[in-house]
Chains A and B, each alone.
Chain A
Amino acid sequence: MLIEYFPILLFILIGIGFGFVPMIAGKLVGPSKPDPEKLSPYECGFEAFEDTRMKFDVRYYLVAILFILFDLEIAFLFPWAIVLEEIGMFGFVAMMIFLGILVVGFIYEWKKGALDWE
């Protein structure tokens, strides 16, 4: 059973390898003449000012939280979707109740402006 996953593991390792090989190759054959100006962060030619790790819009956090909620929701839908024909009407109605509650929450965040970026 688990042996079917062996090619996947190998593939992931090869994928990572495929990332490193060009980097190493580029490092080897490319020039390397660093100077302080070249290594400073790019800011359209100006000297970099302030710290980069700055405060940013709280809406990004909001999106992250909403994403977690909805993604969990989808993770919950996955097994349900696969066996929907077997669990029949009972499963359908149960999930519709769940979705209904979710939609109420969705309406709430919509009306509260959590989804607005204007």
Chain B
Amino acid sequence: MEALLQPVQALLGAAWVPVWTLVKIFAIILPLMGCVAYLTLAERKIIGWMQVRNGPNRVTFFGIKALGGLAQPIADGLKLLFKEIVLPSASSKTLFVLAPVLALAPSLAAWAVIPFSEGLVLADINAGLLYIMAITSMGVYGVIIAGWASNSKYAFLGSLRSAAQIVAYEIAMGFALVTVLMVSQSLNLSDIVRGQGEGMFANMGLGVLSWNWLPLFPMFIVYFIAGVAETNRSPFDVVEGESEIVAGHMIEYSGMAFALFFLAEYANMILIATLTSIMFLGGWLSPVGFLPDGFHWLAAKSAFCLFFFLWLRATFPRYRYDQIMRLGWKVFIPVTIVWLVFIGGWMMSPLSIWK
């Protein structure tokens, strides 16, 4: 590999670093986009199976029957591409166009610090988690600006609800992350994963028991559910509750502009699933001693978490808005504070397992 790249490097000179970085960025984004596309298919298929129906099964490649349904995301994408992008006359045009971009950009940019495997990370910065916190918080701007710029009542209500919901769950999420920081004593995501590979159980070959999910179990649950609420996924999808406010902040969007919101939502789902895997499920680490660590574990764990996203959607009816706020403020925040104090006390006590 090195030998192959050497001549290219010499050719490009000073431009090498940006070009090579660009290549790496596309190596992350393009597969991610593929995942997003096929996540939509997986969602429809899985929910279909859960409800004992087939899901998409007609659209196929080159007429091969066995691949029925597999071309569905591509067909959907193409359809949206050829639809008109309506710019409502009452809207604030610039903001209206900017909003979907603002929704999508953070959910992509967060991937810059995700460690896929040992050493396999685009930017191995020490403030990784801080960056994640900062950049994912930006996502709410897309929603608020969309609601405001549309100048439509449903959009406005939807974005208000969404903003309040996202910020409410962000607090619980933040507290959950603080406990992760406490036990790993680092903001660097790779270090957080490595820290989970040490400990009594890991030495016995049972790495799965030394990951953060066990000692931080309530935090793991809170983080994941808060993640579901943050991405406005069912059962927390009052933002776009079609029975109440039609499609919420996206109501005035059509064509590719609408597709961008969808991309953002699914990219965020994958991001949350990956972050949950990294922070609580040991990232690329193997659950048992005799199997090798590697990217495949991260992928498997993220897929597992994503499956939960879909499962939740298939199982639960939509929460009422007051129930959502109650869960966020009156259940999650107290739970996280109590567990934070508990973990702090545990770390101070001689029984600490993180020394």
Contact = CB atoms under 8 A, between A and B. Distances in A.
Complex A–B touching at CB under 8 A? yes
Interface of A: 4-8, 10-12, 14-16, 18-20, 22-23, 25-27, 29-34, 36, 38-44, 48, 52-54, 56-57, 59-60, 63-64, 66-67, 70-71, 74, 77-78, 81-85, 88-89, 92, 95-96, 99, 102-103, 106, 110, 115-118
Contact of B347 (A6, A41, A85): A85
B84 A32 contact: yes
B109 A8 contact: yes
B330 A39 contact: no
Given A30-B81, A33-B84, A84-B182, A7 B112 contact: yes
A111 B116 CA distance: 45
Given A8-B131, A10-B21, A77 B81 contact: no
Contacts, number: 228
Contacts of A92: 344-345, 347-348
B185 interface: yes
B109 A15 contact: yes
A19 B184 CA distance: 35
B185 A4 contact: no
A116 B105 CA distance: 34
B61 to A, nearest CB: 22
B174 interface: yes
Interface string B91-132: 000000100111111111101110000000011110000110
B100 A40 contact: no
Contact of A82 (B84, B151, B186, B326): B186
Given A11-B108, A70-B333, A106-B333, A6 B21 contact: yes
B246 interface: yes
Among B109, B122, B186, B333, find the residue whose CB has the most chain A CB atoms closer than 10 A.
B109
Interface residues of B, number: 88
Contacts of B168: 63, 67
B314 interface: no
Chain A interface main SS type: helix
18 contacts: A8-B112, A8-B122, A11-B122, A23-B85, A27-B85, A30-B83, A31-B84, A34-B86, A34-B87, A41-B152, A43-B154, A57-B160, A63-B164, A67-B168, A89-B348, A92-B348, A96-B341, A103-B337
A7 B122 contact: yes
Given A60-B164, A85-B185, A88-B348, A20 B101 contact: yes
Contact of A18 (B104, B112, B187, B333): B104
A22 B246 CA distance: 24
Contact of A8 (B22, B89, B123, B355): B123
Given A34-B86, A39-B86, A82-B181, A117 B337 contact: no
B122 A22 contact: no
Contact of A44 (B88, B112, B246): B246
B11 interface: no
B121 to A, nearest CB: 10
A84 B344 contact: yes
Contacts of B125: 4-5, 8
Given A18-B104, A26-B81, A39 B185 contact: no
B89 A36 contact: yes
Interface stretch (B67-75, B256-264, B290-298): B256-264
A11 B100 contact: no
Contacts of B326: 115-117
Given A8-B131, A11-B112, A23 B101 contact: yes
